[in-house]
Amino acid sequence: MYVRINLLPPEIKARWESERKKRTALLMAGAVLAIFIVLYGVLVLATFQVRADVTGLRNERAELESKIPALQQYAQLQNQIEQTEGLIKEAVGIPPSWKSVLENIGLHIPVNVWLSDLSYSNEKNGGRQSTSSNSNTTNNQEAPETCGELTIQGYAFEYIAMTQWLEQIRQIPELTGVNCRFSSREELNGEPVIRFEIKAGVLSGQPAG
C-alpha cells in the first residue's frame, strides 16, 4: 500500500496557491488586453477605410460638379427649345426630335473639344433643303423643310478632333447642311486653341407611320 504524506507547512502551501491564482489572473488579464488591442486595430483600419471612401466620394462629387457648366448650356438650350417649339409646330408642322439631336451632339463630342455657345434660330428658309452628306431624299421625293438653324460655337486643341466631330454631326439625321463657317487659332488662358463655329439646318419632324 502506497501512502503519500505531504510534509510541507501550511504556510508554503497557501503561498503556492496564492501565486497560482495570481498567474491565472495575469493570464486572463493578458488575454483580455490582447482582445482589446485586436479590436482597436480593427477600428483603426475601419476608420482609414471610411476616410478613404469619403475622399473618393468627394473626388467624384468634384468631378460631377466640374461637368455642371457644360451640362447647363444644354439645359438652357432645352428651355429655349421648349419655349419656341409651339411656334415651330404652328409654322412648319411637326417639330424635330430635339432629344435625339442633343443626345447625338453630346455623346460624340471629343474630350479635347468643348462648347462655348449653342443657339437655335427658328426662322424658316422657305422650305429649301441644303445638299449635304446626310441627305436621304431622291429626285422623286419631296425635300423636307428646315425649321431653323443651329449654331455651335466652341474650342478645340487640334483641327483633327474638330473635323472628326464635324463628320459625326453630319451623320445626325435631323440636321442638314452641316458646315464649319470659320475656325481660327487663338489663345485661351495662355493655351493655344482653335475657335470654331458650326452651322446646320434643322429638319422638320416627319409624321409617324
pLDDT at 125: 46
How do the domains of the chain map onto residue ranges? 69-132+144-203
Asked if 151 contacts 121 with a C-beta cutoff of 8 angstroms, the reply is yes
pLDDT digits (tens, 9 = 90+) for 160-185: 989 999 999 999 988 999 999 989 99
Other C-beta atoms lying within 10 Å of the C-beta of residue 151: 14
Top-confidence range, 5-9, 95-99, 174-178: 174-178
Specify the range with the lowest mean pLDDT, choosing from 22-31, 75-84, 197-206.
Answer: 75-84
Distance between CA 142 and CA 204 in Å, rounded? 13
Q: For 51-65, what is the mean pLDDT?
A: 83
Fold observed for domain 69-132+144-203: Alpha-Beta Plaits (3.30.70)
Q: For 119-144, what is the mean pLDDT?
A: 51
Q: Does the pLDDT of residue 5 top 80, yes or no?
A: no
Give me the half-sphere count of Cα atoms (radius 13 Å) on the Cβ side of residue 59. 6
Map grid coordinates 486595430 to a residue: 41
Asked if 162 contacts 207 with a C-beta cutoff of 8 angstroms, the reply is no
